[in-house]
A and B are shown apart, each in its own frame.
Chain A
């Protein structure tokens, strides 16, 4: 436990691909700037894919924890300035 306090929680435990990604995206769209969202789930590929999506969305990944098959991912809605090279597409 890293002591992170989320503003709201999205629990996708038991849900399969691609629901954890979809629900993460909905939650981040609803969150206000500066808010922290905790996504909780059990689908293992999503534990890796949600952080990938957070990078693509240029949000801030605060932490990934796992306890007994359940993972918790903390994301802050805070737009990260252009750090990655996207090939000049955006």
Chain B
């Protein structure tokens, strides 16, 4: 079975969406995927974090991300929360980076524990990537 690891470094809605769409697509086609959330990407695991995530471009103080969410709803594109639930249901693994949690002052209580399989640092990422066929940095 083919395996992919993805570093989710960015906390913007469009980038987290890309990571979740690619991750779900890979799982749907029979692969294995682990998402490593680090730095700003940890927002994706924070309670309420996905609902408030800005856009990487044209955010306009939140108006841009509001318009993007509205457009996504009109076009029946699944919201990031649903894609995260689907990713979990299809067997995708999620690892939260403990080192960046420390520097960002994030305790485990602030994260959606039900979405997280493991807490670790670069060693976990390297070990899983050595067993993978490909890796992405988003």
Q: A14–B21 Cα gap in the complex (Å)?
A: 18
Contacts of A29 in B (CB 8 A): 90
Interface residues as binary, A8-36 with B (CB distance below 8 Å gives 1, 0 otherwise): 00000011111101101110010000000
B contact patch SS: loop
Number of A residues, CB within 8 Å of B: 20
- A-B pairs, 8 with minimum CB distance: A25-B28, A21-B28, A56-B29, A57-B30, A53-B29, A16-B77, A16-B76, A22-B86
Q: A58–B76 Cα gap in the complex (Å)?
A: 29
- In the bound complex, do residue B29 and residue A90 qualify as a contact, i.e. CB atoms below 8 Å apart? no
Contacts between chains A and B (CB distance < 8 A), count? 50
* Contact of A53 with B76 at beta-carbon distance under 8 Å, contacts A89-B133, A90-B1 already known: no
Given contacts A16-B75, A25-B27, 6 further A-B contacts (CB under 8 A): A15-B78, A18-B25, A18-B28, A53-B29, A56-B29, A89-B1
Residues of A whose CB lies within 8 Å of any CB of B are: 14-19, 21-22, 24-26, 29, 52-53, 56-58, 86, 89-90
The bracket for how many chain B residues form the interface is 10 to 19
A-B contact pairs, 21 of them (CB 8 A): A15-B78, A16-B76, A16-B78, A17-B21, A18-B24, A18-B25, A18-B78, A19-B76, A19-B78, A21-B28, A21-B29, A22-B28, A22-B86, A22-B90, A25-B28, A25-B90, A26-B90, A52-B29, A57-B29, A86-B2, A89-B133
